[in-house]
Structure 1
Amino acid sequence: MSASKKKGTSAESAVVAYLRSRGFIQAERRALNGSQDRGDVAGIPGTVLEVKNCARTELASWVDEAEIERVNDGASLGAVWSKRRGKSNPADWFVIMSGRQFVSMLRELLELPPQADEPKEGEAA
């Protein structure tokens, strides 16, 4: 296994262990699915998580990747969980998502109905 793959596997395992410790006992690492990838973590209904442990931060491509995986999975929420340099606990890492995903999450949390007039990716509001 390459060093890069090992870093990724380690980060994914750490996120899964953290989620399980916080009550998400169904969380598990997901096997790769090629072009129909559905994220790195399974077991959280309606949610796709893409885990990153990279020296270089590439927010735009990571968020785009999480969005593709969210669509592939039919999930309502997609986010990137990125390892933070110097921090070993995933509780201290970053969770990144688009503004669209954040507002969608807030609306769901507050039990507000989805908005039918939400602009598509790349369109102005």
Structure 2
Amino acid sequence: MSNPSKAKGTAWESLVVNYLRLMHNPAARRNVQMGAKDIGDIDGYYLHALEAKAERTITLADYIVQANREAVHAGQPFGCAVVKRRMKGVADGYVVRDLATDVRLVNRLKIMEEALQDADFGRWSDIDEELREAA
């Protein structure tokens, strides 16, 4: 690849996809660029359009605008950017979204947890304990 910046971005996207495949969703994959109706860089991050960024100068506001726009194009409720942290590995990257998106996400999580507690408290309790131990 003759463009070093593009190569760096592609390498970061690949690292993020590999991490997601291992830790979250084996079907995670890089998306084909769609031009004006782009749907994000990576598919397979549950409920999200994901924009991967590995740039020297970090411009969070631009990343969030792009991620939110691409979430709409992808038909996903949430957009986020995964930003490379300099001199660190993929697991140390930053997942960034605006507060409005994060509140919608946390509200959804809260409602779903309450529904699971009502439907099957024992299952909710087991899952809660397992996730707390893993943290």
Name the TM-score, length of structure 2 as normaliser. Answer: 0.78
Structure 1 unaligned spans of 5+ = 113-125
Q: Partner residue of 1:75? A: 76
Give the Cα separation in 2 of the matches to 1:72 and 1:53: 22
Give the Cα separation in 2 of the matches to 1:52 and 1:23: 19
- Pair 1:53-2:54 in alignment: yes
Q: Partner residue of 2:24? A: 23
Name the SS of the counterpart of 2:111 in structure 1: coil
Say whether the 8 Å CA contact 2:13–2:52 is kept in structure 1.
Answer: yes
Q: How do residues 35-46 of structure 1 correspond to structure 2 at under 5 angstroms?
A: 35-46=36-47
Structure 2 unaligned spans of 5+ = 113-135
Q: How do residues 84-123 of structure 1 correspond to structure 2 at under 5 angstroms?
A: 84-87=85-88, 89-111=89-111
Cα RMSD (Å): 1.1
Q: Partner residue of 1:10? A: 11
Which has a greater percent of helix? 2
Larger radius of gyration between Structure 1 and Structure 2: 2
CA apart distance, 1:43: 2.4
Q: Partner residue of 2:132? A: none
Provide, for residues 29-59 of structure 1, a one-character-per-residue CA deviation record: whole Å limited to 9, x for no partner: 1110000000000123421000000000101
Runs (4+) of structure 1 exceeding 4 A deviation are none
Say whether the 8 Å CA contact 1:26–1:44 is kept in structure 2.
Answer: no
Give the Cα separation in 1 of the matches to 2:58 and 2:31: 23
